[in-house]
Amino acid sequence: MRPLARSDAPSYVELVIGGYGEFERMLGLDRAGAALYEPFFRPGIWVVLRLLRMLRVSPVEFEVAVDGARIVATTGLTLNHGTGYIFAVSVRPEYRRRGLAGRLLGWSEERIVRRGGRWALLDVEEANTGAVALYSGRGYRVVEKVDWFRAAPAVVGALASVDASAVWNLEPSGRKAAAAWLARVVPAGVTEVATPTPRRLTHLQTLGAFPGSRSAAWGAGPVNAPVGYLTGSQRAKGEPGVLILAAMDPHADPALGAALVVTGARWLLSEGASSALVAVPDHAAAVGTALERLGFHRELSTLAMARPLASGGAPSAGPKGP
């Protein structure tokens, strides 16, 4: 095992694309192909990332397992406010059941601790029972379930009567207050692992963030007494856009949450999105029910799973994975 190198680009991209599941296909990443990863491997960006890695302050790190010159397994890691987010865990089919995924998770957990992190966090499709079992075996527990919905342009266009007068644009100057509100409203089991920040109101924003994406955010209710927040990201024209419901006040009318989502969906379509994808966490499930009544279709569910890590350079005690 070793760090990813720029010369690994062809083999790495082939591996990652070959490992796409329903979630990546839902986002349209299979249609984007290798072009999605081309910016990351540009010489200038790579030099900067390598320097930051040497200084141990790189925003993102990748580790790979190789067989000769061929990458056979990989994972990525980013650190945010004491939590390491593990993503893109992928193993070639013919190399599975050899413990590679477990070794890559171990590398990620050790890197998190070395950089002062306290938690390891990842997202996985609920239907991917093999991966869920692997993570559970290493001591990861589910901290949040997220349902993903889709609305085609025709569905959004038919919702002109939805009253969005209580929805407003969240300006950069208001993101600090939004993060503080979310820290109070989102269940403690979630915020303990993924602390809301002005830059990242919810860790789920990572799932819709790609180079060159356009983004926006909205709030609902009185500006000085909000009841919910939503973020949006649009990767490219003709591709699905992503909306993340960060949270809704549990005492608020779910219809207001639906109006918040419809506002975001209208923005996505104005930016050229082919459809609107909406992530609704389980602590705001009533909004998901309201969206289904409006014609949004439930696509799949993902699980946010986390485990605490001990200080001193090793993960905390717990069941070991394969």
Residues 6+ apart with CB under 8 A from 230: 217, 218, 219, 220, 243, 244, 245, 246, 260, 261, 263, 264
Backbone angles phi, psi at 62, to 5 degrees: -130, 140
Note whether 109 and 167 are same-domain residues.
Answer: no
**Average pLDDT, whole number, for the chain?**
89
For residues 191 and 273, state if they share a domain: yes
* Measured distance CA(112)–CA(72) in Å, rounded: 23
The pLDDT score that the predictor gives to residue 104 is 94
- Please give the pLDDT value at position 322: 31
pLDDT attached to residue 312: 41
Judge if 90 and 218 occupy the same domain: no
As for how many domains the chain has, the answer is 2
Identify whether the C-beta of residue 209 lies closer than 8 Å to the C-beta of residue 243: no
Q: Which domain holds residue 284?
A: 146-304
Residue 141 lies in a domain: no
The pLDDT of residue 315 is above 70: no
Residues 94 and 207 in one domain: no
Indicate if the pLDDT at residue 259 is higher than 80.
yes
Instruction: Tell me what the mean pLDDT of segment 35-47 comes to.
Output: 79
At 146-173, the pLDDT tens digits run: 999 999 999 999 998 999 999 999 999 9
How many beta carbons lie within 10 A of that of residue 15, not counting itself?
21
Q: Are residues 112 and 183 in the same domain?
A: no
Question: For the chain, percent helix, then strand, then coil, each to nearest 5?
Answer: 40, 30, 30
Q: What is the reported pLDDT for 2?
A: 87
Q: Check: CB of residue 243 under 8 Å from CB of residue 287.
A: no
Which tokens in the block code for residue 272? 């050229």
- Tell me: do 82 and 154 sit in the same domain: no
Q: Are the beta carbons of 279 and 247 closer than 8 angstroms?
A: no
Higher per-residue pLDDT: 309 or 315: 309
| Same domain, yes or no: 11 and 107 | yes
Higher pLDDT, 38 or 130: 130
In this prediction, residue 316 carries a pLDDT of 47
Residue type at 195?
A: T
Q: Per-residue pLDDT for 224 more than 60?
A: yes
Both 253 and 154 in one domain: the answer is yes
Which pLDDT belongs to residue 292?
97
Domain annotation covers residue 316: no
Residue 321 confidence (pLDDT) above 60: no
For a pLDDT cut of 90, what percent of the chain falls above it?
A: 72
Specify the residue for token string 């070793």. 2
Is 196 found in the same domain as 106?
no
Domain boundary pick from 78, 101, 117: 117
Is 317 inside a domain boundary?
no
pLDDT in tens, 195-210: 999 999 999 988 767 7
Is residue 127 assigned to a domain?
no
Please state the rounded mean pLDDT for residues 131-158. Answer: 95
Query: Could you tell me if residue 241 is inside a domain?
Result: yes
CA dihedral 170, 241, 80, 225 (to 10 degrees): 30
Task: Write the pLDDT tens digit of every residue in 15-35.
Answer: 999 989 999 999 998 888 788
Residue 6, pLDDT > 70, answer yes
How far apart CA 61 and CA 84 sit, in angstroms, is: 11
Q: Identify whether residues 97 and 195 lie together within a single domain.
A: no
- Same domain for 35 and 152, yes or no, is no
Q: Is the pLDDT of residue 212 over 80?
A: no
Rounded CA-CA distance 127/67 in Å is 30
CATH number at residue 62: 3.40.630.30
Chain segment 281-297, per-residue pLDDT in tens? 999 999 999 999 999 99
